[in-house]
Structure 1
Amino acid sequence: MTQWNATASVVARSLGRNAIFCGLTALLPLIVGPITAGYRGFASPLGWFLMLIFCVVVLALAIHLLFDALLFRLASSYETEAAGLAAVDDLLSRMQLRTPDKAPHGLERRIAGSRRIVWQQRFALAVCLVIFAILQLNASAGQPPA
């Protein structure tokens, strides 16, 4: 296994782990929220709607990152970097997700794009968890659970 194959495989694993962890963490407030809201009273519907929107954003980005992980895994299955990235570009053009470029992007630029999506996902997850914490404090009126 060459250096670029190993890098693409590590990136695929990392993206997959991040997507699953953040996706499950985003589902947690959606599962726990209605249970605790019924126990402690009603909170602002707007707050729950905002939290739901950010949870859906996190889940959508998780699906995007899982797709990116599969693309990196596909690229790492080829012998050379050029052949692997060309296969990814061909797949994306056949799925009509990207128009064929004259100058294909390198591995590092693709990794940087995926990292940007990871940080967007983490930001949306942080906002979701902050909203959930505020809603829980608001529902309990600042009192600890009895």
Structure 2
Amino acid sequence: MTDEAYQQRTGRFAAMLIKQAAWPAVIVLACDGFAPLVASARGALHAPIAVLALLVAAASAVVVLGISALLALDVLLFRLMASHDNERSGCGAVDDLLARMRLRPAPSSPRPLDDRVAGTRRLLARQRITFAIFVIAFLTAGFWMPR
């Protein structure tokens, strides 16, 4: 991969990643902002299934927001990589930064870009699964709320 192709690929991945980190967080925050109002207005605190579904939705919302924060950190790390001339120096800069922040031990050689992208894609998959759990629990709570 040429140096310019590396920078473009890394920049595009960071741009895609910020969108993927933001939209689930915005939806979760919007839904969680209105959930207590709707639940109290409809008497959901008297339906045990609705209460359980709201608790599951709240727990999964926290996880979705946490993963979104991790993805936002990954965006910054990919942008740092893209600011370097080649893959070796960019990945080395990220490894150095993570080691100085004591988030990861310093590796003997920098991890390649493909490994980093694969790890971030696994994190994205976890976010989507957790977001699906949130949506199902949130809709279940709405279905079981007394009318």
Relative to the length of structure 2, the TM-score reads 0.91
Residue 49 in structure 1 maps to residue 51 in structure 2: no
Deviation string 1:30-85 (CA, Å, 9 cap, x unpaired) is 11211211222124333222111100000000000000000000010011110111
Shift of 1:7: 0.6
Alignment correspondent of 2:32: 30
CA distance in 1, matches of 2:30, 2:20: 16
Aligned residues of 2:14 and 2:75 also touching (Cα < 8 A): yes
Residue 85 in structure 1 maps to residue 91 in structure 2: yes
Q: How does 1:62-73 map to 2 (within 5 A)?
A: 62-73=68-79
Alignment correspondent of 1:138: 144
Determine what percentage of the aligned residue pairs are the same residue.
Answer: 32
Residue 12 in structure 1 maps to residue 18 in structure 2: no
Structure 1 residues without counterparts, runs of 5 or longer:
142-146
Deviation string 1:10-39 (CA, Å, 9 cap, x unpaired) is 111111111111111111221121121122
Aligned residues of 2:10 and 2:82 also touching (Cα < 8 A): yes
Residue 108 in structure 1 maps to residue 114 in structure 2: yes
CA distance in 2, matches of 1:130, 1:28: 16
CA RMSD of superposed structures (Å): 1.3
Query: What one-letter code is carried by the residue in structure 2 that aligns with 1:9?
Result: G
Equivalent residues, number: 141
Task: Give the secondary structure class of the aligned counterpart of 2:145.
Answer: helix
Query: What one-letter code is carried by the residue in structure 1 that aligns with 2:24?
Result: C
Aligned residues of 2:88 and 2:110 also touching (Cα < 8 A): no
- Single out whichever of 47-56 and 90-99 deviates more from structure 2: 47-56
Aligned residues of 1:29 and 1:129 also touching (Cα < 8 A): no
Shift of 1:6: 0.5
Query: What one-letter code is carried by the residue in structure 2 that aligns with 1:114?
Result: T
Relative to the length of structure 1, the TM-score reads 0.91
Shift of 1:103: 3.3
